């Protein structure tokens, strides 16, 4: 486990939110000076299925979730300071019982 990221300096923030699943997931895109893109957001209590384009790393900065990658049967817990990887062109289920604050690192 590592210390959760608390600040991201020197970025451009997209001020209009991305709202998914009737407001259960809300995120904002951020772009670094070198063009790298990430998103920061929160998922409210729910069970959701996400599809990825590029590979992603989900970093938990507060709260927790359980996730299940496509092709697996096990739910795995991820808490503040932990992260998990999702392959590109895949899907994963996420189950949240308390607000899950995250940074999505696109690979």
Domain that holds residue 82: 32-106
* Residue 12 maps to a domain: no
* Residue 92 maps to a domain: yes
Is 2's pLDDT higher than 90? no
* Residue 18 maps to a domain: no
The CATH number that applies at residue 38 is 2.60.120.10
Confidence of residue 1 (pLDDT cuts 50, 70, 90): confident
* Residue 27 maps to a domain: no
pTM for this model (two decimals): 0.93
* Residue 1 maps to a domain: no
* Residue 22 maps to a domain: no
Of the CA atoms within 13 Å of residue 51, those in its CB half-sphere come to 3
CA gap 94, 72 in Å, rounded:
13
- Could you tell me which residues come within 8 angstroms of residue 86 by beta carbon, excluding any fewer than 6 positions away? 50, 52, 55, 56, 57, 58, 69, 92
Domain count for the chain, please give it.
Answer: 1
Q: Is 64 helix (H, G, I), strand (E, B) or coil?
A: strand
């Amino acid at each position: 486990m590592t210390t959760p990221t608390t600040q991201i300096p020197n970025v451009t923030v997209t001020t209009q939110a991305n709202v998914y699943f009737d407001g259960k997931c809300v995120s904002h895109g951020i772009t670094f000076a070198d063009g790298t893109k990430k998103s920061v957001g929160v998922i409210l209590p729910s069970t959701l299925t996400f599809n990825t384009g590029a590979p992603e790393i989900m970093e938990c900065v507060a709260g927790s979730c359980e996730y299940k990658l496509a092709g697996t049967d096990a739910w795995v817990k991820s808490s503040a300071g932990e992260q998990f990887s999702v392959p590109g062109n895949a899907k994963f289920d996420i189950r949240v019982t308390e607000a899950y604050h995250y940074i999505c690192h696109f690979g």
